[in-house]
Structure 1
């Protein structure tokens, strides 16, 4: 008997907009990206999550914002 569990995560970009501040590494402009992630289990979607991620437009690093 063989059991196969198929899990998949799909991310889709919803929008981009400039964010205030500058990159601490290179001083470039920061961009806020709204991303919707969708988890699937056996081809059935069971979790939708929308996140905002920050990236530098010059060095393309992902920036972490602490509250």
Structure 2
């Protein structure tokens, strides 16, 4: 008997905006990207999540936000 699990995560960019502030590493402009991720198990969608990620346009680093 063989048991195989097929899991997949697909990400799709919904939109891009310029964010206020500057990159702490190089001083470049910060870009906010809205991303929709979809988890699938055997081609059946399980979960949809929309996230906002921040990237520097010059050094292409992913930036973290400190929300307290």
Q: Same fold (TM over 0.5)?
A: yes
**Superposition CA RMSD, Å:** 0.3
Deviation of the 1:37 alpha carbon = 0.1
Which structure 1 residue ranges, 5 or more long, are not aligned? Answer: none
How many residue pairs end up in the alignment?
A: 67
Which structure 2 residue ranges, 5 or more long, are not aligned? Answer: none
Answering whether residue 9 of structure 2 is matched by residue 9 of structure 1, we say yes
Following TM superposition, the consecutive aligned residue runs of length 4 or more in structure 1 with deviations greater than 3 angstroms are none
Deviation of the 1:2 alpha carbon = 0.4
Q: TM-score, normalised by structure 1?
A: 0.99
Deviation of the 1:35 alpha carbon = 0.1
Q: TM-score, normalised by structure 2?
A: 0.98
Answering whether residue 35 of structure 2 is matched by residue 35 of structure 1, we say yes
